[in-house]
A and B are shown apart, each in its own frame.
Chain A
Amino acid sequence: MKVRGWLAVGLLAPVVALTAGLYLVPLGVYLINGFHRFKDGRILPVWTLDTYAAFFTDAFSYKIMRTSLLLAAIVTVLALAIGYPVAYALHTRVRGAKARAVLAVVLFCPLMISVVVRTYGWLILLANQGLVNTTLLRLGLIDQPVRLLFNMQGVVISLTHIMLPFAIFPIYSVLGKLDASLKEAARDLGAGPWATFWGVTLPLTLPGVASGGVICFTLALSAFVTPQLLGGGRVQVLPLTVYNSTVEINWPEGAVTSVALLALSVLAVWAVNRVLRRLPTVA
């Protein structure tokens, strides 16, 4: 990395200072606690790996990590599975810049609402007497309300909803860069619409799918409010543990859990980048 000239330094300085002062330093201070000991409601300033040892030998930690990874994976797969067709339709079926802009705003809407408000909205929709259950009951599709709240289902539904724009837009952008004559060439060589999609369009837009997937996965992995409010204590994920530990002044445990969370995120990004490098570029 090379920084050219004083102008660049001047332009970058505020961001670097803010990031360093308000993010990296507190993060470092917090993480240092991971090497201290928590005993009788107090943090003892001794240097030890005890907390790490305790975390990684506790079966419960692995259960939390499994739940976190499972939640993030399900949400990512769902967001991509729903998002790809939306992006494809947006790319192929929507003509005109105006219509596209309107749809983009509609798709981004969930991001413009506070996460707390949105989550309460889902509470109303998914409750036993909520809109979803009432509708399903009226239609006679179910005999009694389906439990959609305070369990994995509710968290998955709400998180998928909020992740959709992050899945759609990277895919949409790669679709836009795809040379239209590639699809035509496939049709010309005898491929029907489906064979063209599976043989040409999908493989060449995988970079978009991968980058959308990375964003969804890391955001879902670190989601806190949604599992907290809609999980009802039954969806124990890493961010919740970090929060609970911090509230209980057990900073060492919180710090170690944070490191685990960070490590899983970094691992996911690294794995996807490795795959991405093998994919062909569209341009």
Chain B
Amino acid sequence: MTREAHGADVDVRAITKRFGTVVAVEAVSFTVRAGEFFSLLGPSGCGKTTTLRAIGGFEAVDEGDILIGGRSMGRLPPNRRETNMVFQRLALFPHYSVLDNVAFGLRMRRLPAPEVRRRVAEALERVELGALGVRRIGELSGGQQQRVALARALVNEPRVLLLDEPLSALDLKLRIQLQEELKRLQRSLGTTFIYVTHDQGEALAMSDRIGVMSSGRLEQVGTPLEIYERPATRFVAGFIGDANLVEAVVEAVDGNGLVARVGEARVWARREGWEQVGAGLTVCVRPERVRIARPDGRSDALAGRVEDRAFSGSLVKYRLAVPGLRLHAAVPYVHGTPLFEVGDAVAVAWDGDQAVTVPA
């Protein structure tokens, strides 16, 4: 299969999908490049699964179009698309053996039996299930079933592999192990993956790019770093990682920074360019960027008090009360340094360029 190196494999153009009066997906557009690991991330009910199912041909969109490999999909049924899906509930055929499950797609294409055998064996080898081909699905563990589902989809060499929260039923340890395997597999095969998840850690760890969805809309598309460092909306800022979201009014802007007022206090942030003096916005600061110290009378620090403390080994998490707002700080624990106590007065500050602004 030849592909242009950086062409769009999947081009989603302003799709809208309604279920009765509920708008599940609203004017969502994005492109996925060939060989890319693209995640759709969002809370349950945000429309990410509906979007994935629309790409796979399981939902007909009400508006917009989806192009796969440059070809408009229209109302093409799933069996005539160059996609394969790994279902959330796996949907392995309980009446078939592992081999027959994996061979299903190839047999539907009426490939000669020797080729089916060879490719099924290869696929099972690739997911490290070579010896289990004759087993029934019910005889496998959750992790093994997961691998069969993956092999059953990948054996067809789809242009795009769609994955609908495939790891959500597994326990944490197995999930992390399979995340690594999935990523490795995707790299070695070069297949385009579109991965739906509500787990931001999973999306950040695995994806080349992430599309964050909320209430049927696509909020932002970017690399994990971009999304973490420069969230485009308040929702993205709050959903990806922990964040202090401070509602403030812009007081002054200069060059790359700005000062905003929250009640009596002043906060600093990096300037994106759209902010206007006198207008409200939200300042987003990650807890690990918040610095706390004993009060020393410096004018640019916020005067606060420790409200609560939680020690978690590598980090110490403080909840801080600053007049007019409440902030969270996560400070690396350094052996030997004393911790702040609940009730201690502290000076709270952060570097202006470590905080970002999003529309209120």
The chain A residues found within 8 Å of chain B, CB to CB, are 179, 181-182, 184-192, 195, 199-200, 203-204, 279-282
Contacts and interface: CB of A to CB of B under 8 A. Distances in A.
Interface string B56-94: 111000000000000000000111000111011101111
8 shortest interchain CB distances as A-B pairs: A189-B105, A190-B108, A185-B91, A181-B91, A280-B95, A187-B78, A280-B94, A181-B87
10 contacts: A182-B91, A185-B93, A188-B56, A188-B83, A189-B156, A190-B105, A190-B109, A200-B93, A280-B95, A282-B94
A204 B79 CA distance: 20
A188 B93 CA distance: 13
Contacts of A185: 85, 87, 91-93
Given A181-B87, A195-B108, A280-B138, A187 B79 contact: yes
B104 interface: yes
B286 interface: no
Contacts of B79: 187-192
A186 B101 CA distance: 10
B87 A184 contact: yes
B152 interface: yes
B162 to A, nearest CB: 9
B104 A204 contact: no
Contact of B95 (A189, A192, A204): A204
A179 B138 CA distance: 15
Contact of A188 (B84, B88, B89, B92): B84
B84 A189 contact: yes
B10 to A, nearest CB: 16
B58 A184 contact: yes
A280 B100 CA distance: 15
**Most B CB atoms within 10 A — which of A185, A191, A204, A280?**
A185
Contacts of A192: 79
Contact of A181 (B89, B95, B108, B152): B89
**Most B CB atoms within 10 A — which of A184, A189, A195?**
A189
Contacts of B109: 190
Contact of B91 (A184, A195, A279, A280): A184
Interface of B: 56-58, 77-79, 83-85, 87-89, 91-95, 104-105, 108-109, 136, 138, 152-153, 156
A281 B95 CA distance: 8
A181 B88 CA distance: 9
A190 B88 CA distance: 19
A95 to B, nearest CB: 11
A29 B253 CA distance: 103
Given A189-B156, A190-B105, A280-B94, A179 B89 contact: yes
Contacts of A280: 94-95, 136, 138
B138 A188 contact: no
Contacts of B84: 188-189
Contacts of A182: 91, 93
A99 B201 CA distance: 45
Given A179-B89, A280-B138, A191 B108 contact: yes
A185 B84 CA distance: 9
Contacts of B58: 184, 187-188
Contacts of B78: 184, 187-188
Contacts of B104: 186, 189, 191, 199
A279 B78 CA distance: 28
Contacts of B77: 187
Given A185-B91, A191-B108, A282-B94, 12 more contacts: A181-B91, A182-B93, A184-B85, A184-B87, A185-B87, A187-B77, A188-B85, A189-B108, A190-B156, A199-B104, A204-B93, A280-B94
Contacts of A195: 108
B145 to A, nearest CB: 13
A146 B287 CA distance: 88
Given A184-B78, A185-B85, A189-B156, A179 B95 contact: no
Given A184-B78, A189-B104, A189-B152, A203 B95 contact: yes
Nearest to B108: A190
Contacts of B88: 181
A100 B110 CA distance: 39
A204 B94 contact: yes
A219 B152 CA distance: 44
A203 B96 CA distance: 10
B182 to A, nearest CB: 18
A184 B104 CA distance: 13
A199 B100 CA distance: 11
A114 B105 CA distance: 52
Contacts of A281: 94
A181 B164 CA distance: 12
Contacts of B89: 179, 181
Contacts of B85: 184-185, 188
B298 to A, nearest CB: 60
A196 to B, nearest CB: 8
A37 B152 CA distance: 68
A180 to B, nearest CB: 9
Contacts of A282: 94
B100 to A, nearest CB: 10
A198 to B, nearest CB: 12
Contacts of B91: 179, 181-182, 184-185
A191 to B, nearest CB: 5
Contacts of A191: 79, 104, 108
A182 B137 CA distance: 13
B149 to A, nearest CB: 9
A124 B335 CA distance: 98
A203 B100 CA distance: 14
Nearest to A181: B91
A195 B153 CA distance: 18
**Most B CB atoms within 10 A — which of A199, A279, A282?**
A199
